[in-house]
Amino acid sequence: MKRVITYGTFDLLHYGHINLLKRAKKLGDYLIVGVTSETYDISRGKLNVSQSLQKRIDNVKSTGLADLVIVEEFEGQKVSDIKKYNVDTFAIGSDWVGEFDYLKQFCEVVYLERTKDISSTLLRKKANPIIKMGVVGNGKIAKRFIKESKYVSGVDVSCVYGRNIQHLEEFCKSLELNKYYTDYDEFLKNVDVVYVALPHSLHFAFCKKALLAGKHVLCEKPITLSQKETAELFKIASEKKLILYEAIKTAYAPCFDRLISMAQSGIIGKIKDIDATFTKLIENKNSREFDVSLGGGSLTELGSYPLLVITKLLGTNPKNISYVTSIDDEKNVDIMTKVFLQYENAFATATVGIGIKKEGDCIISGTQGYIIVPAPWWKTNYFEIRFEDLNKTQKVFYRFDGDGLRYEIADFINAINKGTKTYKLTNDESLFISDIIEKFMNRKSLKKNIHVI
């Protein structure tokens, strides 16, 4: 007897899952299905699992395809199960190609072609709220986004929009997508929600068209390069009862949420100063980040992150804003910029750079102590609360899985399902960040408040 084993969360069981089970069943005579437990899902960064373990087990059993259903509870259990049940073949979806090659020393490993382009219409008929998402753009961040989406239950990234057919074909092949579109209107007809991952200068037009077509939108930061345009998008979303999110991933990370809560609790007294830095060296000056026509530059590329922590803790009404910047003479984009914000009773500095490198930490200073978040603070998974008496230092750790994009995806999907937006990044905060960026980009009219070095 040839024994086959496969694993999965099997949340909101749909025909994609069933097709995979059927294909696995055909590989042998006896199919074992491992259903992941809640604790294991959390430990491996799987988010938004909506059904209980027992419900998911019952759903798998109801297919009649599994000869035995077991529970996967810990990392490394696959090896134990293969040995325990004398498994001949391990089968898993092709979107995990290469991830389980280490099991080849114990049994045959087969990557089964996944069911591409899951029909949201069919899923809704089954009362399974799987959201069909399309990606606008096929760059590096779009690739990371699709890989991270696998860790969020309730969403299926089904297709991509772009202009270059060759690039789209390569993109779809590498990420197991079945469809691409070069016609944006046609693309919008085939998705429920849209993720916009285009150069900054294109965000407004593509977001607006998607919202007017009745689609929820998750847009990369900065959402637009103008406060007026950002306000217009939020107005359209509100009128159409749609969810519009700005994808500043740090805002949705669990540890960052805890950081903000603890800072606001008064544990370090009254907050008087924030100093946040994010720099990265981009050597290719022909890249999007150095293209002024696409909204390139340090502040547009990275400014959303330090401005996020500042507005979260000090608010959206500074008394004065000024800038110090270094401009690349050839490309006319800022390679490093400092934004100084003066509030009624506090001040803050946001430092960003794509051509100058600096330690990327965040320090929040108060009247009774301070919080330090070491680099890379925008991937918050650890911070220290320090006092004059170092014996009172508190160290706080929290998970930050993968690239962190799964957290914003999960929050976005939750908002769609519940019909309410999160507190983790408010419209006012996004509008504030857009305003800071817009004022800098219009620097010719800000000669008194900007200094070029």
Rounded Cα distance between 337 and 451, Å, is: 10
Question: In terms of domains, do 437 and 309 share one?
Answer: yes
Among 248, 265, 299, where does a domain finish? 248
Question: In terms of domains, do 227 and 355 share one?
Answer: no
Q: Side chain identity at 323, as an amino acid letter?
A: Y
Task: Check if the beta carbon of residue 6 is closer than 8 Å to that of residue 91.
Answer: yes
Rounded Cα distance between 190 and 15, Å, is: 18
Question: In terms of domains, do 289 and 414 share one?
Answer: yes
Question: In terms of domains, do 88 and 208 share one?
Answer: no
Neighbouring-strand partners of residue 383:
396
Residue 154 confidence (pLDDT) = 86
Q: Where are the alpha helices (DSSP H) in 315-373?
A: none
Rounded Cα distance between 168 and 106, Å, is: 37
313: domain CATH number is: 3.30.360.10
The β-bridge relationship of strands 68-72 and 131-136 is unpaired
Rounded Cα distance between 154 and 134, Å, is: 14
Residue 130 confidence (pLDDT) = 82
Per-residue tokens: 360: 């990327």
Question: In terms of domains, do 377 and 285 share one?
Answer: yes
Q: Supply the DSSP symbol for 96.
A: G
Task: Check if the beta carbon of residue 95 is closer than 8 Å to that of residue 177.
Answer: no
Question: In terms of domains, do 216 and 260 share one?
Answer: no
- Nearest alpha-carbon partner for 306 in 280, 346, 278: 278
- Nearest alpha-carbon partner for 176 in 20, 36, 18: 20
Per-residue tokens: 172: 């779809």
Question: In terms of domains, do 125 and 231 share one?
Answer: yes
32: domain CATH number is: 3.40.50.620
Among 192, 217, 248, where does a domain finish? 248
Question: Is the C-alpha dihedral spanning 416, 419, 425, 426 positive or negative?
Answer: positive
Question: In terms of domains, do 85 and 148 share one?
Answer: no
DSSP string, 30-62: EEEEEEE-HHHHHHTT-B---S-HHHHHHHHHH
Residue 449 confidence (pLDDT) = 67
Q: How many domains does the chain have?
A: 3
Rounded Cα distance between 420 and 414, Å, is: 8
Rounded Cα distance between 75 and 91, Å, is: 17
Residue 203 confidence (pLDDT) = 98
Question: In terms of domains, do 129 and 78 share one?
Answer: no
Question: In terms of domains, do 286 and 166 share one?
Answer: no
Question: In terms of domains, do 295 and 215 share one?
Answer: no
What number of other Cβ atoms are within 10 A of residue 392's Cβ?
A: 10
Range of 44's domain? 3-112
In angstroms, the Cα distances linking 212 to 200, 230, 437 are: 20, 15, 25
Can you give the length of the chain in residues?
A: 453
Rounded Cα distance between 28 and 1, Å, is: 8
Residue 45 confidence (pLDDT) = 75
Among 233, 248, 263, where does a domain finish? 248
> Mean pLDDT per segment of 10 residues, for the chain of length 453 residues?
94 86 95 91 77 91 96 91 95 90 95 67 50 95 95 90 95 90 97 96 98 98 97 98 97 94 94 98 93 94 98 97 93 95 97 96 98 96 95 92 93 89 93 96 65 69
Question: In terms of domains, do 171 and 310 share one?
Answer: no
Residue 373 confidence (pLDDT) = 98
Phi, psi of 131 (to 5 degrees): -95, 125
